[in-house]
Amino acid sequence: MTSYKGQCHCGNTAWEAKLEADQQGHILCHCDTCKSLSGSTFTLNQIIPKAALTITKGEAGLGKYTYYGESGKGVHCFFCKNCTSHVYHHQEVMGPDTIVLRTGLLTEGIKSFEPKAEIFGKARLGWEKEVATTFETLPPS
């Protein structure tokens, strides 16, 4: 287990995530919601226990945006209210103790992690090359 620090763009919010060896990598998500929320072609994520994430600075400054996924269940996106960086998402469909961490905001992780999988590959843009095992939507559970 290794501890990784992260912070939002403006620095108002900072956090620490304790990641197991098999969590030290990026899961690329190509879904249309990620495109829309990031203004880019995919996001970098990892699924971790909620208890593995500690907001060390500015928790009160986090905003929450909720949308409803295909399952009809809520997806709560926690972001810095000042600069709008998304820290993590909580998908109700995953249960109360699991969150989706944005690995692209980990100071060391963004540089050292490798792509481990790609999800929602069906929405990958035509000019993007495959860089890891790709699932059409989600991996079979």
Nearer to Zn ion, 47 or 83 (CB): 83
Q: Should residue 31 be labelled a site residue for Zn ion when binding is judged by CB under 5 A?
A: yes
Q: Cite the beta strand spans of 50-133 per DSSP E.
A: 53-57, 62-68, 74-80, 86-91, 98-102, 115-119
Secondary structure (3-state) at 92: helix
Q: Should residue 28 be labelled a site residue for Zn ion when binding is judged by CB under 5 A?
A: no
Q: Should residue 38 be labelled a site residue for Zn ion when binding is judged by CB under 5 A?
A: no
Pairing between β-strand 26-29 and β-strand 115-119 as defined by DSSP bridges? parallel
The angle at the Cα of 21, spanning 20 to 23, to the nearest 5 degrees, equals 65
Q: Should residue 83 be labelled a site residue for Zn ion when binding is judged by CB under 5 A?
A: yes
Stretch of 7-15, 66-74, 100-108, 129-137 lying at the interface with Zn ion (CB under 5 A): 7-15
What torsion do the CA atoms of 55, 19, 97, 79 make, to the nearest 10 degrees?
Answer: 40
Q: How far is the CB of 38 from Zn ion (least distance, A)?
A: 9
Q: Should residue 105 be labelled a site residue for Zn ion when binding is judged by CB under 5 A?
A: no
Residue from the set 4, 6, 8, 102 that interacts with Zn ion by CB under 5 A: 8
Question: For residues 74 and 71, what is the distance between their CA atoms, to the nearest angstrom?
Answer: 9
Q: Should residue 75 be labelled a site residue for Zn ion when binding is judged by CB under 5 A?
A: no
Q: Which residues bind Zn ion (CB under 5 A)?
A: 8, 10, 12, 29, 31, 34, 80, 82-83
